[in-house]
Amino acid sequence: YLPGVVRGEMPAAFHQQALDAQAVAERTFIYYHMASGRKAAHPDADVCMDYRCCNAYTSAQAAAEKWGDHAAEYEAKVQQAVRDTDGQVILYNGQPILAAFHSSSAGVTANSGDVWVSTLPYLHSVESPEGEDTVPNYYSVKEIPAAEFQQTFLAAYPEASFAGGPETWITGRVESICIGGVTVEGTQVRSLFGLRSACFTAEAAADRVTFRVTGFGHGVGMSQYGANRLAQDGKSWQEILHWYYTGVTIAPYGG
């Protein structure tokens, strides 16, 4: 199972140490949910991590078709990541952590409490070294017709008012943005309009609303492209995990 989720979650072209870090995060995520008695659910809500019905799982055959001429090389790297880290889990106070990860950050990762209900002591904001030179589609733009924008937002927040001109529709910061007089979190806007991340700017014009977005994912925990950059700079998989998860230890978990 573990090679399957590593295949599905991180590009196999990445540095071996980044793939090793991903393997430990995936293993830890499984142990976290086993220890807590919860159904496994990936931290990025639209991906399931339940080993009984896992959308993140990619079979070796499917991966080989996708990888083409690199199939043997990439499969060897994935299997090596699992072997390199055999039994290793990320622990906080002796217990497996919620090993959240995402694709890429906008220079820093997010505090867990700024994205989710709970603030976890090991998921603090840290600097992340990826950027537009290493991440495809690091910057993205999404334009939404003004009428569609109003309709979508009013369906979720009927108390909003769009009586004024478009320049009055959107005010505030991403963490707490005001649309139509209603204050909503940036993560809610991301979900509502299908943005690549909650790190964005928004501008309303007469005929459209334009979002300019940086990065991809919820922003909490390990940035995968950041991990790859750290690995390229000579960091080990252990150093990468300590970079993104505060105050943790890495060791086998006895249950």
**pLDDT tens for residues 36-88?**
765 444 444 333 444 444 566 788 888 888 899 999 999 999 999 999 999 99
Query: Which residue stretches of the chain are H helix?
Result: 2-9, 16-36, 60-67, 71-84, 112-115, 146-156, 186-193, 224-232, 237-244
> Residue 168 carries which DSSP code?
G
**Residue that is written with structure tokens 């880290």 in the block:** 85
Pairing of strands 182-184, 176-179: antiparallel
Tokens of 197: 């991340």
The model's pLDDT over 183-241, given as tens digits with 9 standing for 90+, comes to: 988 888 988 999 988 888 888 998 999 998 888 888 899 999 999 999 999 999 999 99
Neighbour count for residue 38 (Cβ, 10 Å)? 10
Sign of CA dihedral 140, 146, 150, 151: negative
Query: How far is Cα 39 from Cα 231, in angstroms, rounded to an integer?
Result: 32
In the structure, what pLDDT confidence band is assigned to residue 10 with cuts at 50, 70 and 90?
Answer: very high
Q: What is the pLDDT of residue 34?
A: 82
Whether the pLDDT of residue 89 is over 50: the answer is yes
pLDDT in the model for residue 185: 86
Residues 6+ apart with CB under 8 A from 53: none
- d(Cα 115, Cα 130) in Å, to the nearest integer? 21
Q: For 106-151, write each residue's pLDDT tens digit.
A: 888 988 888 887 889 999 999 999 988 889 888 999 999 999 999 9
Rg of the chain on CA atoms, in Å? 20
Burial of 11 (0-12, 13-18, 19+ CB in 10 A): middle
The pLDDT mean for the chain works out to: 88
